[in-house]
Amino acid sequence: MKVLGQIYESFRFAWQALKSNILRTVLSLLGVTVGIFLIIAVLTIVDSLEKNIKDSLNFIGSGVVYLEKWPWLADSDGEYRWWDFWMRPTPSYAEYRHLQENLRHKSHMSIFADRGDMVIKRNNNSIGQVRLVGASEGYENIFTVDMVAGRYFTADEILNGRNVTIIGFEVANALFPNGEDPLSKVIKVKNMKYTVIGVIRREGESFMGTPSNDYVTIIPYNAFRKLYQTGSGRWDELQSSIGIKGHDYDVGLVELENEVRGMIRGRRGLKPAEKDNFAINRPEALMDIIGGLFDGISVAGWVIGGFAMLVGGFGIANIMFVSVKERTPIIGLQKSMGAKNYFILFQFLFEAIFLSLIGGLAGLFLVYLITFVPLGTMVVTLSLKNIVLGLGISSVIGIVCGIIPAALAARLDPVIALRAT
């Protein structure tokens, strides 16, 4: 208890010293404030930008592999060999059924195709620039299809290509104004009648303007094939994609990807020496590239902020040496009255840490103000991780810059200290 009491007294002495020299305190913490602000501001902007971009890419799902004609990324040498890809066959409905019946490492799968810039009509109302999607079962488990009303397709509706549809929030508002219930009503797509069985919850505009379910109309895949040539495997038809969601235990989806590759190569009769005539795409590959880019920006923020922190650290160390010089007689008096070395050490070390923490808190407050600045559809959030990081860096700077002056103060001879003027 005696030790705790002395530590408390050290806190109290340090706080009084800071209050008695307000101007010096403010000037000495400016460097730390600027340094913490720069580092945490960059990290916050980078984290927020990365999160907003990844959220915008949610429409491609996660934990999924896609069997497609075209790869999403260039080869390892940076070249995108489109001339090798354009004559490839598109994934067919027969291949989808083959995978559905034989894959062991899947949890859900779906075949789907889409067509953009569609005009959807209902009586005298219409809406353009709508994305028409033809989807099979499992589509709602691979992508986010959050229904605000109605239901997804039944197995019979998908198998027989029934003329039923699920519409996005903005499509429903345009075709059914004044709060009219869209369910069981009829809309027209390419002059074909479809009965609305579901409405998707509003998503709002994404940061990157990526496809939104607000402007989508989904129909069964076999109904989509009545409107467009797709799913037969021809190279010149509208491309279909097969999305396959893996199990949680398949880390990296390695087993699923290898199983899909082996089955499709066998199905298409490819010899061992022949290259794949299909692409297996994964959203995680895009996320890794995005993450790598932002890691580089974060390093730049650390370097810039580090220089400011270095200046701030020297400022704190200098002020602490001055403080030790000014209070040398007081140190001698405290020691003559029985104060231990650690009491003196803590007194000055806590003062340095307080200085640095106050500067860090000021820097974090400035970063917090940035979160209120309107940046379009981008949402900036100061995360708990960055708050803890900022306070941690401040504490370390205080300890590093205060330990030497504090140690010198603790080792002063009480007699010599009392004689100091």
Mean pLDDT confidence for 58-73: 79
- The mean pLDDT value for 33-44 works out to 78
Residue 27 has pLDDT above 70, yes or no: no
pLDDT of the residue at 12: 63
Q: Per DSSP, which regions of 254-374 are E strands?
A: 279-281
* Of 163-177, 213-227, 387-401, the least confident: 387-401
Report the distance separating Cα 321 and Cα 309, nearest Å. 18
Residues 29 and 93 placed together within one structural domain of the fold = no
- How high is the mean pLDDT of the chain? 82
Q: What's the per-residue H, E or C state across 71-114? A: CCCCCCCCCCCHHHHCCCCCCCHHHHHHHHHHCCCEEEEEEEEE
- Shared domain for 185 and 84, answered yes or no, is yes
Q: Does residue 248 share a domain with residue 122? A: yes
State the pLDDT at residue 176: 93
How confident is the model over 248-261, as a mean pLDDT? Answer: 82
Higher per-residue confidence, 49 vs 139: 139
Structure tokens at 192: 């074909």
End-of-domain residue from the set 281, 312, 336: 281
Task: For the beta carbon of residue 388, count every other beta carbon within 10 angstroms.
Answer: 10
With a pLDDT cut of 90, the percent of the chain lying above it is 32
Return the higher-pLDDT residue of 39 and 31: 39
- Could you tell me if 74 and 14 lie in one domain? no
Band of residue 389 on the pLDDT scale cut at 50, 70, 90: confident
On whether the CB atoms of residues 167 and 229 are closer than 8 A, the answer is no
pLDDT tens profile 316-331: 777 777 777 777 777 7
Q: Are residues 260 and 277 in the same domain?
A: yes
Residue 399 identity (one-letter amino acid): I
The Cα 373–Cα 320 span in angstroms is 37
Q: Are residues 49 and 194 in the same domain?
A: no
Residue 342 burial (10 A CB sphere; 0-12, 13-18, 19+): middle
Q: Tell me: pLDDT of 266 over 70.
A: yes
**Cβ partners under 8 Å of residue 375, min gap 6:** none
Joined tokens for residue 80: 């995108």
Place of tokens 């027969």: 94
Encoded tokens for 98: 């083959």
Confidence (pLDDT) at 346: 76
137: three-class secondary structure by DSSP: coil
Whether 142 and 61 have beta carbons less than 8 Å apart is answered as yes
CA distance 281 to 284: 9
Question: Do 269 and 135 have their domain in common?
Answer: yes
pLDDT level of residue 58 (50, 70, 90 thresholds):
low
186 shares its domain with 218: yes
Q: pLDDT band at 402, cuts 50/70/90?
A: confident
80-94, 222-236, 260-274, 338-352: range with lowest mean pLDDT = 338-352
List of residues 6+ apart from 9 with CB closer than 8 A = 343, 347
The contacts of residue 183 (CB under 8 Å, 6+ apart) are 149, 150, 196, 197, 198, 199
The set of residues, in sequence order, having a beta carbon less than 8 Å from that of 28 and lying 6+ positions away, is 312, 315, 316, 318, 319, 355
**Of 246, 263, 281, which residue sits at a domain end?**
281
Going by pLDDT thresholds of 50, 70 and 90, the confidence category of residue 213 is confident
User: How far is 177 from 181, CA to CA, in rounded Å?
Assistant: 9
H helix count then E strand count, the chain: 14, 10
Domain that holds residue 350: 2-56+289-419
Q: How confident is the model at residue 14 (pLDDT cuts 50, 70, 90)?
A: low
Closest by Cα among 384, 388, 396 to 309:
396
- One-character DSSP codes across 367-398: HHHHTTS-BTTB-----HHHHHHHHHHHHHHH
- Residue 417 — very low, low, confident or very high, per pLDDT cuts 50/70/90? low
Same structural domain, 193 and 210: yes
Listed range (156-170, 244-258, 280-294) with the worst mean pLDDT: 280-294
Quote the pLDDT of residue 227: 94
**Which one has a higher pLDDT value, 74 or 163?**
163
C-alpha–C-alpha distance, residues 354 and 333, integer Å: 24
Residues 8 and 81 in one domain: no
Residue where a domain terminates, one of 261, 281, 301 = 281
Is the C-alpha dihedral spanning 403, 405, 406, 409 positive or negative?
A: positive
The pLDDT score that the predictor gives to residue 25 is 64
Choice between 95 and 400, residue whose per-residue pLDDT is larger:
95
Cα dihedral sign, 353-356-360-366: positive
Residue 184 has pLDDT above 90, yes or no: yes
Q: What pLDDT, in 10s, does the model give residues 329-368?
A: 777 777 777 777 777 777 778 777 877 888 888 888 888 8
- Of 41-50, 158-167, 257-266, 297-306, the range with the lowest mean pLDDT is 297-306
Q: Which amino acid is at 232?
A: S
Predicted pLDDT at 144 = 78
Which among 207, 187, 209, 206 is positioned nearest to 197, based on CA atoms? 187
pLDDT at 115 over 90: yes
Confidence of residue 203 (pLDDT cuts 50, 70, 90): confident
Residues 114 and 237 in one domain: yes
The rounded distance, in Å, linking the Cα atoms of 340 and 259 is 71
Tokens 């369910």, residue located: 183
Instruction: Dump pLDDT digits (tens) for 214-243.
Output: 999 999 999 999 999 998 988 889 999 999
| Mean pLDDT, rounded, for 197-221 | 82
Q: Bigger pLDDT: 42 or 185?
A: 185
Domain match, 95 and 194 both = yes
How many folded domains does the chain comprise? 2
